[in-house]
Structure 1
Amino acid sequence: MQTTLSEHAKRLPRAEEAESILRTCVHCGFCNATCPTYQLLGDELDGPRGRIYLIKQVLEGHHVTEKTQLHLDRCLSCRNCETTCPSGVDYHNLLDIGRAVVDDAVPRPLGERLLRQGLRAVVPNPTLFKTLVQLGQAFRPLLPESLAIKLPRVVHPAKARPTQQHARRVLMLEGCVQPGLSPNTNAATTRVLDRLGISVTPISQAGCCGAVDYHLNAQEAGLNRARRNIDAWWPSIESGAEAIVQTASGCGAFVKDYGHLLKDDPVYAAKAQRVSALTRDLVEVLRDEPLEKLGVESDLRLAFHCPCTLQHAQKLGGAVESVLTRLGFNLTAVPDGHLCCGSAGTYSLTQPELSRQLRDNKMNALESGKPQVIVTANIGCQTHLDSAGRTPVRHWIELVEEALH
């Protein structure tokens, strides 16, 4: 795609990157075939090709409107289009660049600003978030339905973590919302890894991965969180930690992007690259281990929801299904498994109607094989799907840990 950036756009920090991405797009439209919002709305501007054209217009100096902002806001950042694209368009980075320019040009209404600021204040703060979840559960009958369904139906308490220390050590990002919504997920992970002779070293100074801030267009705040995490992890990396394990694929996708996002930072570029290289989704660790040592026994019938951040961002589609099959679980077929469930970070709060439609479509697909439990690999997807109040939804590692003998 030919493009001529405006003089203003040429001065943007990521101008060269944006122009390079735009020029890789051949405007073929294959991306629209797998775009969830295009399938729901049928509007060219609510598909990747149309959004790329909107961003091109913005960077060429055309007038920016609230309509432009709306079409970019409606994107789930699921990156399904990147999996489909024959030209390898780096769409998610172009979208981040475009959203920042548009938000600078189009002030948001007060309600939207308050919602986004509130999300940025609450979600990355695990202590505050967990407290609010507990209060919400206590007063659930008094809450409006739109808020009550966001709370977990069942909170499985965290089991005790192993104290034995092994020669092999990994780090693990505890996450922001997972300790409040699904506290046993990380505990189950440590117990399974312990069975395989791997210890998890807790790093309390590591906090939010930065994705919440970054994707709500507080990009520098998100990068500052990344820098703090790098500083927190670095001593353990230097002393031999073999990986930084992620149990939420959304966090994993963002941490794996640290190297790219901080490539121009003279202080953090090399460290960020190292952190990204060491980052592993939990399934990447387990699939290379002798799983027969776990002694898993289960006759549960499961449906696996593969989060977009696992299959499209990290390119690990089929990996969890393979591990669960090796462990003896009975997996049902899931049609249209490539499509987004509608969670997409904070999307279910900023675009509730579209998010709900996508959730219900995904639940219909997941339940088509009549599973007893639905499992996934990302806390956002887990909570969002479970909010339908249908088949229970949990993290897959919890089912593995419960089946240990």
Structure 2
Amino acid sequence: MQINTGDLIKGFRRAESTTSREHAGLAAAKHWGQIERLARRAMSAVNGVQSRMDVKVLTELTNAARCVASSDLIPSIPGPMPHPAPAHLPHTERQSARAVYFPTCINRIFGRDPDKPRTPSLPEAFVTLSARAGMPLWIPDDVRGLCCSTPWASKGLADGHQWMAEAICDALWRWTDHGSLPIVIDAASCTHGLLEDVAKHVDDSRRAQMEALSIRDSITWCRDLLPHLSANRKLETVALHPTCSTTHLGLNHDLKTIASFLADTTVVPVGTTCCGTAGDRGLLHPELVVSATRDEKAGLEASAAQAYLSANRTCEMGLRHATGQPYESFIFPLEELTGPA
């Protein structure tokens, strides 16, 4: 029926926004780099605590705080939280780069699954993989503090949304030398926001710049790397979760192509649809994710897999908490299985 309830809710939120909320949203946009650092430190603190006590204790503590304050402001800890992302991004060179790589803020804050090693991080694995295929990536020095602007759009914060949309547009234009290099994004929801939202909230000049840019998701980038890679072994079975954004962008076929390169069998459980995470909603209201994934969880329990793969960090976190399976980016096994035996 082509009904976009997301846009409807965003419109309601913009209409209900207040001056104080707009000021707060704009301040958050202008100081996003500091918020990133604080978020990583918070993740480090949570990791330290959950390494010494049962995560259920943390869950009960945060639930108590949410009862006192607000469940729409204080996130929960519905299960084991991921490692924090490393404070430093991998070193890359501009001169030989075949594309600009913008590590998204969700992957600059949230690291790997708690049951996985801390390293390599997603940016480290992606840079290594691309170089191995003869398609090196360049990460600009000033990516921190910049975002696709989707969080402000989702909250209906018009001022912060416009400020960040203009800031990322200007940065992309500068990084790519006015569109001479493609830019690669490592989270499907952020790719979706850059391709379909930013240009609607900037002036005509910036809109023309956005239309001139070649913005590619890591899925299509890695699909094109496959002919230049050789797997040292294959997995038996991988479980795949296509996200809402990969579906909107028409990337599910490419994601399955990559999964087939990695494993003999690819399983998309019956009932796999939207996981319900929706950015921060999975932490604010984890019951939504549990409800949205109940059929998918049943399918996973009926058929075990060696790896659980998706293409968006927050979705992977929601799936981890709701299904108990360690969902991660497809980039990790792709880098591991094509590396030295």
1:134-145 matches, cutoff 5 A: 134-140=44-50, 141=53, 143-145=58-60
CA distance in structure 1 between the partners assigned to 2:289 and 2:168 by the alignment = 30
For the structure 1 residues 123 and 367, does the alpha-carbon distance in structure 2 shift closer, same or farther, using more than 3 Å as the test? farther
1:170, 1:244 within 8 Å by CA — same for their partners in 2? yes
1:152 and 2:81 aligned: yes
1:395 and 2:333 aligned: no
1:26 corresponds in structure 2 to none
Deviations 1:119-156 (A, max 9, x none): x6898732121111001111233633453336525669
2:106 corresponds in structure 1 to 177
1:19-34 matches, cutoff 5 A: none
TM-score by length of 1: 0.66
2:270, 2:296 within 8 Å by CA — same for their partners in 1? no
1:330 and 2:265 aligned: yes
Q: 2:308 aligns with which of 361, 374, 390?
A: 374
Cα drift, residue 288 of structure 1: 2.7
1:274 and 2:212 aligned: yes
| Higher RCO structure (Cα 8 Å, ≥6 apart) | 2
1:245 and 2:184 aligned: yes
1:2-401 matches, cutoff 5 A: 85=1, 88=2, 92-101=6-15, 103-104=16-17, 125-140=35-50, 141=53, 143-145=58-60, 147-149=76-78, 151-153=80-82, 161=90, 167-182=96-111, 184-206=121-143, 207-238=146-177, 241-258=180-197, 260-262=199-201, 265-275=203-213, 278-291=214-227, 293-311=229-247, 313-337=248-272, 339-388=273-322, 390-401=324-335
Q: Describe the SS at the equivalent of 1:280.
A: strand
For the structure 1 residues 327 and 342, does the alpha-carbon distance in structure 2 shift closer, same or farther, using more than 3 Å as the test? same
Q: Percent identity?
A: 19
CA distance in structure 1 between the partners assigned to 2:167 and 2:193 by the alignment = 14
CA distance in structure 2 between the partners assigned to 1:266 and 1:371 by the alignment = 48
5+ residue gaps, structure 1, are 1-84
Cα drift, residue 93 of structure 1: 3.7
The residue type paired with residue 250 of structure 1 is S
Cα drift, residue 215 of structure 1: 0.5
TM-score by length of 2: 0.77
Q: Describe the SS at the equivalent of 1:301.
A: strand
CA distance in structure 2 between the partners assigned to 1:241 and 1:100 by the alignment = 36
CA distance in structure 2 between the partners assigned to 1:165 and 1:237 by the alignment = 10
2:239, 2:268 within 8 Å by CA — same for their partners in 1? yes
Deviations 1:98-130 (A, max 9, x none): 4322x14xx7xx9xx8xx97xx68987321211
Cα drift, residue 223 of structure 1: 2.4
Q: Describe the SS at the equivalent of 2:126.
A: helix
1:304, 1:366 within 8 Å by CA — same for their partners in 2? no
CA distance in structure 2 between the partners assigned to 1:316 and 1:268 by the alignment = 26
Cα drift, residue 212 of structure 1: 0.9
Deviations 1:69-105 (A, max 9, x none): xxxxxxxxxxxxxxxx3xx55654444334322x14x
The residue type paired with residue 206 of structure 2 is Y
Paired residue total: 307
Deviations 1:311-336 (A, max 9, x none): 1x212123211122134453224212
Find the structure with the greater CA-based Rg: 1
Q: Describe the SS at the equivalent of 1:330.
A: strand
The residue type paired with residue 233 of structure 1 is L
For the structure 1 residues 239 and 227, does the alpha-carbon distance in structure 2 shift closer, same or farther, using more than 3 Å as the test? closer
1:344, 1:381 within 8 Å by CA — same for their partners in 2? yes
Deviations 1:276-316 (A, max 9, x none): xx1111111122334353334222521011111111x2121
5+ residue gaps, structure 2, are 64-75, 113-120
Deviations 1:202-226 (A, max 9, x none): 1233312111111011133122112
Cα drift, residue 241 of structure 1: 4.7
The residue type paired with residue 149 of structure 1 is P
2:313, 2:329 within 8 Å by CA — same for their partners in 1? yes
Please give the root-mean-square deviation of Cα atoms over the aligned residues, in Å.
3.5
